[in-house]
């Protein structure tokens, strides 16, 4: 590998990465600017294999978007209906239970609930939906509410966020997805999502979430109007908070999908952009245990390749997907079957490891069944050596 | 990867860096590699040697599927209709001219003329249509894969050589390497038993190159073949290229299972990149490796530019043989240029002979 790095002009970064040294702001800029995508991927792969070996995590999950009514009007969002719009909906606790019932024959370990910022919803509503979900699927963990929603819930509760988080935990909240971070730049915030929680606000909420003992993910929405400098700052800002709280489990670069948004003139992200964002996240966020390739946004093909560009998590089988809150994508009714997901991973020479929402490994006999035992046993070996 | 395996790969790496020729065993070892970035690096070394400019080419062209009537019944084909079937068609001259006019209006320089093996169409049909096209349009005719040529010679009661010479003087410029599938008779027997044999295919290309008609070469992988058979395919192409030098480019595409008799899974993006990279490494006497935008889609085709690929094929696609099998990717010039530039290369328009036009 060293010989091959020589011609890329990144030999010094290879040295640094192999030594486990922390990368700087300038290193980040170089990683964004070099045309040598393979080199960036190979660097990220060094870190990926050091932290996670061949293990590739996935979860059997279900997404529920409890309301699409939102008063934030983010320009990159194609999901929301403004208050009063006839397309608006709110799922009642019973609606949600009915939807869960449709999936009664499927294993579900994580229920992912996010939605718009609907000022009409009372505090009690949030507690009710958590409790109903927990009662309907007690074995599944609930991952719910972006930082923006949490700020709104606290507003509805008229209580300090810390107390609200305790209530939500009591009602069944297991962890927090971390969306809504977009790009931490006042310029981008002003232009694209001015009504939404500002950058400092996002950090405040994240800090409190972690302080309450809840773990979260962090995200970055790319492929709109952001600059390379803004992205590096975003990543380093998140790295700093992680140094402080250690509450993040996973980082998810989110590819902006311009379809049906106010930014429709922007072309969709390329495969190169998708892989580069994943690789740079893996390299700069040296204190994040996991980097996710979210196949729904970047295609299963690119997500598979991403397993060699820094990613160690493929999210899940994802049944039912309407929103990416703060990701700006609507109506992706896509799903990969459990077997397809396993094939995707093992064809790429990696080892599938089923997890729950908190990255606990599902024991192999539950995870993949008898016929997969060969794969399963490898996964356990990898895991026990890294935990 | 075992220690043994790792040193074997280091040997191969050293060989590639020293510009040595890889053996069949080397190829087979590379097809088992899972470290994708490493393989990409290696393939890119050869690509840079062949194409030192940081450029990626494409051609502006149009595919004309002049007939879908075919009696060969390849199991992987969702395009054909048997003779006598009511959905069978042969395009009229007017339809063909209309399509070419359309391509020329969009800056097109190439017409890819391809269809089924239709017993009703003999040499005079092709001579006439090629002459008529060349009289009307400043386009290069890239057409008739070996299966079509061999069949055409047979039903026209001509030798292959004579057939090729007559088509050449009527305006045929180059031949697409389609129908190569995998050049191993066991595989061909399994997936297209009525098609030409390996010897016939190679012989047709040899004759074409000898009479001055260059061609491309293809590989359709991911159906029933083994890794060793993929390597065998590449070795056969390489040795014919040593002999004639008549291949302009190589393109690999993965078998498209939807709507065909051959059920099965679509090869993954990972398998595609690995195969393309190994092809770049093995085919050391090929100037160009093309990505199949059509079957892989723009995202994966773009990544292939880092795995040995230096050409993105044609912009205007109407490849019914493939699209009937379930892939629907189109490429506009704008999109193709954006993807190339985004990967760090300068987009260049070429002609069918891989000469840069713009
Ligand atoms: S991204 Fe979220 S906050 Fe913004 S408009 Fe959409 S649903 Fe509302
Ligand atoms: S692939 Fe070609 S030869 Fe085979 S059935 Fe289809 S049209 Fe006929």
Residue A366 phi, psi (nearest 5): -80, -35
Minimum mean pLDDT range among A27-41, B124-138, B325-339: B325-339
Does B3 have pLDDT greater than 50? no
pLDDT tens digit sequence for A5-26: 888 889 999 999 999 999 999 9
Q: Look at residue A216 and give its three-state secondary structure.
A: strand
Does B354 have pLDDT greater than 60? yes
d(CA A55, CA A37) in angstroms, rounded, equals 23
Q: What pLDDT does B321 receive?
A: 42
Tell me which residue of A271, A40, A228, A258 sits closest to B338, measured CA to CA. Answer: A271
User: What domains appear along chain B, each with residue ranges and CATH number?
Assistant: 3-350 (3.20.20.70)
Residue of chain B whose Cα is closest to the Cα of A301: B269
Ligand nearest to the Cα of B146, by number: 2
Q: What pLDDT does A377 receive?
A: 29
d(CA B293, CA B302) in angstroms, rounded, equals 8
Q: Rounded to 10 degrees, what is the CA torsion of B213, B216, B220, B221?
A: 130
Query: Helix crossing, A199-211 with A147-157: angle to 10°?
Result: 80
Tokens 């051609």 correspond to B59
Strand order in the sheet with A110-113: A61-64, A110-113, A141-144, A173-176, A215-222, A248-255, A290-291
Does B270 have pLDDT greater than 70? yes
Are the CB atoms for A184 and A192 separated by under 8 Å? no
pTM of the model as a whole: 0.89
Query: Helix crossing, B269-282 with B227-244: angle to 10°?
Result: 40
Strands A313-316 and A55-59: parallel
Residue of chain B whose Cα is closest to the Cα of A2: B38
Does B290 have pLDDT greater than 90? yes
Reported as type and span, the H/E element at residue B55 is strand B55-65
ipTM comes to 0.87
First to last CA, chain A: 28
Strands B140-143 and B247-254: unpaired
Q: Which residues pair with B62 in a beta bridge?
A: B111, B316
Give A55-369's CATH code, choosing from 2.60.260.20, 3.20.20.70, 3.40.50.150, 3.30.530.20: 3.20.20.70
Q: What pLDDT does A192 receive?
A: 75
Domain boundaries of chain A, sorted by first residue: 55-369
Give the mean model confidence (pLDDT) for residues B210-218. Answer: 95
Query: What is the pLDDT of chain A when averaged over all its residues?
Result: 86
Tell me which residue of B269, B330, B348, B280 sits closest to B303, measured CA to CA. Answer: B269
d(CA A142, CA A134) in angstroms, rounded, equals 8
Q: What pLDDT does B183 receive?
A: 84
Residue B253 phi, psi (nearest 5): -140, 150
The parts of chain A modelled with pLDDT lower than 70 are: 195, 318-335, 365-387
DSSP state of B183: S
Give the mean model confidence (pLDDT) for residues B101-124. Answer: 91
Reading phi first (left if > 0) and then psi (alpha if -120 to 50, else beta), residue B340 is in alpha
Taking any CB pair shorter than 8 Å as contact, residues of chain A touching chain B are: 1, 3-4, 35-39, 41-42, 45, 267, 270-275, 298-299, 301-302, 304-305, 308-309, 343-344, 347-350
Q: What pLDDT does B182 receive?
A: 83
Neighbours of A275 (CB within 10 A): 30
Answer with the residue of higher pLDDT: B185 or A109: A109
Does B249 have pLDDT greater than 70? yes
Q: What pLDDT does A164 receive?
A: 97
Q: Do A4 and B38 touch (CB under 8 A)?
A: yes
Helix, strand, coil percent values for chain B (each to nearest 5): 45, 15, 40
Give the mean model confidence (pLDDT) for residues B44-57. Answer: 94
């Amino acid at each position: 590998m060293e010989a091959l790095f020589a011609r890329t002009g990144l030999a010094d970064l290879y040295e640094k990465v192999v030594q486990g040294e922390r990368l700087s702001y300038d290193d980040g800029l170089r990683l964004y600017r070099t045309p040598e995508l393979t080199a960036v991927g190979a660097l990220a792969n060094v870190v990926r294999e050091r932290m996670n070996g061949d293990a590739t995590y996935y979860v059997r999950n279900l997404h529920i978007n409890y309301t699409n009514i939102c008063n934030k009007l983010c320009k990159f969002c194609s999901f929301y209906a403004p208050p009063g719009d006839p397309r608006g909906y709110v799922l009642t606790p019973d609606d949600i239970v009915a939807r869960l019932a449709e999936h009664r024959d499927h294993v579900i370990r994580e229920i992912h609930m996010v939605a718009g910022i609907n000022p009409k919803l009372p505090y009690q509503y949030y507690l009710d939906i958590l409790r109903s979900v927990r009662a309907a699927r007690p074995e599944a963990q609930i991952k719910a509410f972006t930082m923006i929603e949490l700020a709104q819930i606290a507003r509805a509760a008229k209580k300090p966020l810390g107390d609200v988080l305790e209530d939500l935990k009591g009602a069944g909240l297991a962890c927090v997805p971390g969306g809504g971070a977009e790009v931490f730049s006042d310029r981008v915030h002003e232009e694209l999502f001015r009504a939404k929680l500002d950058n400092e606000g996002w950090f405040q909420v994240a800090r409190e979430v972690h302080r309450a003992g809840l773990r979260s993910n962090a995200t970055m929405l790319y492929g709109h109007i952001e600059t390379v400098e803004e992205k590096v700052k975003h990543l380093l800002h998140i790295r700093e908070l992680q140094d402080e709280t250690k509450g993040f489990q996973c980082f998810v670069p989110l590819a902006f999908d311009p379809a049906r948004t106010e930014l429709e003139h922007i072309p969709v992200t390329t495969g190169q952009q998708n892989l580069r964002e994943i690789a740079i996240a893996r390299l700069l966020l040296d204190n994040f245990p996991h980097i996710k390739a979210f196949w729904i946004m970047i295609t299963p093909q690119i997500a598979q390749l991403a397993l060699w560009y820094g990613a160690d998590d493929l999210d899940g089988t994802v049944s039912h997907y309407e929103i990416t809150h703060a990701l700006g994508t609507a109506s992706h009714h896509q799903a990969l079957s459990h077997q397809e997901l396993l094939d995707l991973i093992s064809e790429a020479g990696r080892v599938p490891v089923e997890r729950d929402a908190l990255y606990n490994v599902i024991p192999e006999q539950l995870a993949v069944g008898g016929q997969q035992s060969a794969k399963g046993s490898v996964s356990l070996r990898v895991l026990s050596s890294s935990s | 990867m075992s220690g043994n395996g790792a040193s074997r790969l280091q040997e191969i790496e050293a060989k590639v860096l020293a510009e040595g020729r890889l053996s069949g065993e080397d190829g087979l070892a590379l097809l088992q590699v899972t470290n994708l970035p490493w393989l990409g690096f290696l393939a890119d070394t050869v690509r840079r040697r062949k194409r030192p400019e940081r450029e990626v080419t494409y051609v502006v062209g149009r595919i004309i599927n002049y007939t879908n009537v075919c009696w060969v019944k390849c199991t992987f084909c969702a395009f054909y209709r048997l003779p006598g079937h009511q959905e069978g068609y042969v395009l009229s001259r007017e339809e063909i001219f209309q399509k070419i006019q359309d391509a020329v209006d969009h800056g097109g320089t190439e017409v890819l003329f391809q269809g089924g093996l239709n017993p009703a169409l003999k040499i005079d049909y092709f001579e006439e249509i090629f002459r008529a096209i060349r009289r009307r349009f400043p386009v290069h005719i890239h057409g008739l894969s070996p299966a079509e040529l061999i069949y055409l010679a047979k039903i026209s009661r001509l030798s292959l050589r004579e057939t090729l010479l007559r088509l050449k003087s009527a305006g045929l410029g180059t031949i697409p390497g389609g129908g190569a599938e995998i050049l191993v008779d066991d595989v061909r027997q399994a997936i297209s038993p009525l098609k030409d044999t390996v010897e016939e295919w190679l012989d047709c290309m040899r004759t074409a190159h000898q009479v001055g008609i260059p061609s491309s070469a293809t590989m359709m992988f991911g159906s029933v073949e083994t890794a060793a058979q993929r390597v065998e395919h590449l070795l056969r192409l390489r040795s014919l290229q040593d002999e004639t030098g008549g291949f302009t480019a190589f393109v690999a595409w993965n078998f498209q299972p939807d709507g065909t008799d051959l059920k099965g899974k679509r090869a993954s993006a990972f398998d595609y990149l690995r195969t393309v990279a190994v092809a770049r490494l093995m085919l050391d006497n090929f100037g160009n490796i093309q990505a199949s935008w059509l079957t892989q889609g723009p995202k994966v085709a773009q990544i292939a530019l880092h795995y040995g690929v230096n050409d993105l094929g044609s912009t205007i696609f109407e490849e019914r043989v493939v699209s009937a099998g379930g892939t629907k990717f189109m490429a506009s010039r704008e999109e193709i240029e954006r993807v190339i530039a985004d990967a760090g290369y300068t987009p260049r328009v070429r002609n069918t002979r891989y000469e840069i036009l713009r």
